[in-house]
Amino acid sequence: MKRRDFLRSTGWFVVGASLAGIPGCGDNLSPADGAEPAVEGTFAFPQGVASGDPREASVVLWTRVVLAASPDDSVGVIPMRVQVATDADFRFLVTDRPVTASQANDHTVHVLVVDLAPAASYFYRFIAGADTITGRTRTAPAANADVQVNLAWVSCQDYSAGHYGAYRQLLADDDKRAAADKIHAVVHLGDMIYETRADGFQTAIDESFQPVTLTNADGTPRAVGAFPSGGGVRAGTTFAATVEDYRFLYKTFLQDPDLRAARARWPFISVWDDHEFTDDCWQSQANYTNAATGDEGDQTRRVAASQAWFEYIPVQLTGAGGVVPSEARDFSAVVVEDAPFTAANDDNFVDEPNNAAAVGAITIYRSLRFGKHVELVMTDERSYRSDHAIPEDISGGAPFLAPRNALPIALVNLFDAGKTAGGGNPPASITLQPGLTVPNVRAASPPGTMLGKAQKAWWKATMKGSDATWKLWGNEVTLMRLRLPQLGPGGTDLCVAADAWDGYDVERRELMGFLKDEQIANVVALSGDIHASFAGLVMDDYSLPVERQVPVVTELVAAGISSNSLFSFFEAATRGGDPQLRGLVTVDTPTANFVENFNLLLLKGTTAAGTFAATKSLPAALGNAKAIEANQHLKYADTNTQGYGYVKITAAKVDAQIITINRPLTPPPAAGPGVKRTVSFSIPAGNAAGMTGPTVTGTKPFPLV
C-alpha cells in the first residue's frame, strides 16, 4: 500500500499550503485523487473541530462528521473538503483539498497541514455537502524568534462532576488580554475523559460536599450514558471495555459546548494521564480490585484506549527516537490478549508479549519548540512506569488510608529503591511502629521508574540538547514532595499521593541530579492530575536536611477543569472518623464551614494545623508552627479548587497565573462562571529559588489573609 493510501485508510491526510493566499483559488483535484461519490443528506459535526501540535510550519486539524438525521448510521465514507485561509472570510486560501471520513475511524479526520508560515494565525473549515464548521489555529514561532510565548495548561475534566466553566472562563479571560498576551496554545496534561461511570469519580458535589445532580442547558442530565458494550465491572466500578466504549466517552465529553469552543479557538498539545485508559494505571495494568500485582492485565483495553485517543485527539507524533515520522497508526495490526503480568525486567518493564505489544502500539512523548525561549517537553508517565512502590494488596487495609494515597514515605522509598536500597543490601523488613513490621517484598526488584528506560534517555537528551532559554515540562503528575508530617503509623511522615512522583523518588532524584550536574537551568514543570493548585520548588534530594537541598526545577500545578478537588477526597476519607485527624483536614469556624485546614497542614505542618483545629485561631497556629514539619519548598497550596493555569514566557522571566473559578454546577454564562481568585508568580531566568509570589487577586485561600 502506498504511504498516501495508508494514511487515508487510517483517517490521516497530509496536505501542503500551496495556494499562496490566492483569492478564491481551489486545487481542482480530480475525484480519483481522494474525492468519493457524494453522500446525500445534511451533515453535522457533533464534537466540533480542533487543532493540535503547532510547529513553525505545520499544524494538525481535526473533526468528526456524521449524517445529521442518523448520526449512528453505518455510512462507510463521507467526502469532505478542508480549507485553510489567512482570513476569517476565507477569501485568501492556502489549502483547499478533498478528504474523507471513514467508518473505520469513527468518521474522525486528521489533516496535517505543512508549509505554513511561522507564528501565523490561520482559519480552517471542513465542508460536507452544504454544511460547514470553522475553527482558528496558530503556528509556533520560528526556533530563532525572540518573541514572547503565552500558553495555558489544563487537566482533569470529569464530565459528570461539573460543567466545563473553566474553558468558558479561559475564553472570556483571553478576550480581555492585550494582543501580546493572548494565548497561543493550550497544553492538556490528560484526563480528557474518565473511563468509569456511576462511581465516585463522576459525582458532582456542592460547597457542602453533598452529591449534586447536574443538568445541561437544555435540561437533559449531564451524565455518562451506558457503554455500547455494557462495559466491564470490577469492585463495583463500571468501566469502558472496548474501542466503541472509549469512542463513546470521547463523543460524550467532546460535545460539551465550552470545550468545543476552546478547541476551535486554540491548538491543543495533549498527552494522556490515567483515565484515558484506567485509573492509576501503569503499563497495561489496572487497579480496580487492588489485588496482587498482575491480576488486572488489560492489554486489549490498553490498545482500545490508545486507538480512541489517537482518533479523537489532534496530535502529530514521532517515533521513540523523536525523529521517525508516524502521523498514523494501524491499530488493527496490534493483536493482543489479556494476560497476567510476569516479573519485570531489570529496567522494570514487563516484557510479557501482550503487555509489550499493547504499550508499543503508540508512542506519545515528544517535544515542541516555540521560538528562541521555549522548549515544551511532553512526557508519557503511564505507559512505561513500573508498578506502584507499595503493592495494593499490602496498602489496601489498616493502618493505611488508601492503597495509593497517604502512605508512609519511608516505606514507599524503601520499596521504590528495590534491590538498590541500603547500598545494594536492602533490609528484609521495615518497622513502622511497635507491632507493625512490613516485609520488604521489593527487596529483589529493580528500582522504580516513571518514564522507563527509553523515554528517560530521550528526556535527558532533549533537556541537555535544547538551546531554548526555558524548558517547560508538560508533566502529568505532581513532581514536588507533598509531605504530611508525622501522621502515619508510629508518627511517620506520609506522602499525599504515591501515584505521583513521590512514589518514584529514586528516578526523581536521578532526573533532578542530572539537571543539576549538567547545569541545565530554567526548567519549569507544568503539572496537573491532583485536582489542586500548588507552586513551589523541586529539590535535588528531599532525603537531605533542608539546608542542604538544592532547588532544581520550579513547579506550577493547576487544578482540574471540573473534577472533584483533592480536599474533597480527604474530607470524605476522614468523615465520621478520628476527630483529631479530621480536624487536620477541615475545621468549622463561627464564620465558615469546611475551612481548608489541609492547606495549612501542607504548608506549615501538623502542629500548626492541629493548633488551628483546637483554637480556631490562625495567629496561634502560625505562632506554633515548626519549620521542621513544613514543606518549605512549597510556596502555595489551594486544595479545594477548579480552574486553569496561564504562563507567558520571555528571555528574562516566566510570569504565571493560577486561576480558580467559581465552581460551575450549572451551565456557565457566556462571560464564564467568574474568577474566585487569580494567583500570580514570577520566575526570573537563572534563579529557580528567586520565584516571587503568591500575589492573590480576589478571595484568598486559607491560610492566606
Q: Which of 53, 16, 528 is nearest to 266 (CA)?
A: 53
Give the other-Cβ count within 10 Å of 265's Cβ: 19
Residue 65 located in a structural domain: yes
Alpha-carbon radius of gyration of the chain: 25
Contact between 495 and 397 (Cβ < 8 Å): no
Cell of 443: 527487596
Q: What angle do CA 180, 166, 228 make, to 5 degrees?
A: 130
Residue 505 lies in a domain: no
Those residues with Cβ within 8 angstroms of residue 38's Cβ, 6 or more apart along the chain or in another chain? 79, 129
Is the separation of the CB atoms in 494 and 437 below 8 Å?
no
**Mean pLDDT in residue range 216-245:** 95
CA dist., res. 487 & res. 480, Å (int): 19
Q: 525 and 633 in contact (C-beta within 8 Å)?
A: no
Which H or E element spans position 52?
strand 49-55
Contacts 24+ apart (CB under 8 A), 581-590: 581/487, 583/609, 583/610, 583/613, 583/614, 584/487, 584/609, 584/610, 584/613, 587/612, 587/613, 587/616, 589/616, 590/616
Q: What is the CATH number of the domain that holds 102?
A: 2.60.40.380
> In percent, how much of the chain has pLDDT > 90?
83
Look at the chain and report how many structural domains it folds into.
2
3-state secondary structure of 230: coil
At which of 119, 139, 159 does a domain end? Answer: 139
3 pLDDT band (50/70/90 cuts)?
A: low
Q: Which residues contact 397 (CB under 8 A, 6 or more apart)?
A: none
Q: Give the separation between CA 318 and CA 143, rounded to whole angstroms.
A: 19
Residue 106 located in a structural domain: yes
Q: What is the distance between the alpha carbons of residues 483 and 633, in angstroms, rounded to a whole number?
A: 11
By residue range, what is the domain housing residue 27?
Answer: 1-139
Q: For residue 293, is pLDDT > 90?
A: no
Q: Mean pLDDT, the chain, as a whole number?
A: 92
Kindly state whether residue 70 falls inside one of the protein's structural domains: yes
Q: Report yes or no on 11 lying in a domain.
A: yes
Q: Is residue 130 part of a domain?
A: yes
Confidence of residue 411 (pLDDT cuts 50, 70, 90): very high
- Cα 599 versus chain centre, distance: 23
Q: CA 411 to CA 432: how far, in whole Å? A: 8
Closest to 119 (Cα-Cα) out of 152, 97, 146: 146
| Burial class of residue 190 in the structure, from the number of CB atoms within 10 Å of its CB (0-12 exposed, 13-18 middle, 19+ buried) | buried
With 60 as the cut, is the pLDDT of residue 86 above it? yes
Interatomic CA distance for residues 158 and 275, integer angstroms: 9
Angstrom distance (rounded) from CA 333 to CA 350: 21
580 in any annotated domain: yes
Name the phi and psi angles at 257, rounded to 5: -65, -35
Question: Is cis: bond before 703, omega within 30 of 0?
Answer: yes
Cβ(379)–Cβ(371) below 8 Å: no
Stretch 563-585: mean pLDDT, rounded?
A: 94
The reported pLDDT for the residue numbered 290 is 81
For 304-344, how does the pLDDT look when each residue is reduced to its tens digit (9 = 90+)?
999 999 999 999 986 544 433 456 778 988 999 999 998 99
pLDDT tens across 433-446, in order? 888 899 999 999 99
Q: How confident is the model at residue 398 (pLDDT cuts 50, 70, 90)?
A: low
The predicted structure's pLDDT at residue 179: 98
318 burial via Cβ count (<10 Å: 0-12, 13-18, 19+): middle
Over 50: is that where the pLDDT of 625 sits? yes
- Under the banding of pLDDT at 50, 70 and 90, the label for residue 465 is very high
pLDDT exceeds 50 at position 25: no
- 597 in a structural domain: yes
The string of DSSP codes covering 624-671 is: T--GGGS-TTEEEEE-S--EEEEEEE-SSEEEEEEEEEPP-SSPPPTT
Domain boundary among 104, 139, 174: 139
**pLDDT of 580 above 50:** yes
d(CA 484, CA 487): 6
The sign of the torsion formed by the CA atoms of 68, 70, 72, 78 equals negative
Residue at which a domain ends, from 638, 662, 686:
638
Contact 276, 302 (CB under 8 A): no
Residue 84 to residue 96: CA distance in whole angstroms? 7
Confidence at residue 396, expressed as pLDDT on a 0 to 100 scale: 67
Q: What is the pLDDT of residues 629-667, one digit of tens each?
A: 999 999 999 999 999 999 999 999 999 999 999 999 999
pLDDT of 616 above 70: yes
Judged by DSSP in three states, 181 sits in: helix
Residue 9, H or E segment = helix 3-9
**Cα dist from 454 to 4, 7, 91, 269, whole Å:** 30, 27, 47, 22
Return the C-alpha torsion angle 535, 536, 540, 545, nearest 10: -140
Rounded mean pLDDT of 75-81?
A: 90
**Please, what's the largest Cα pairwise distance for the chain?**
81
651 and 146 Cβ atoms separated by less than 8 Å: yes
Mean pLDDT along residues 231-241: 94
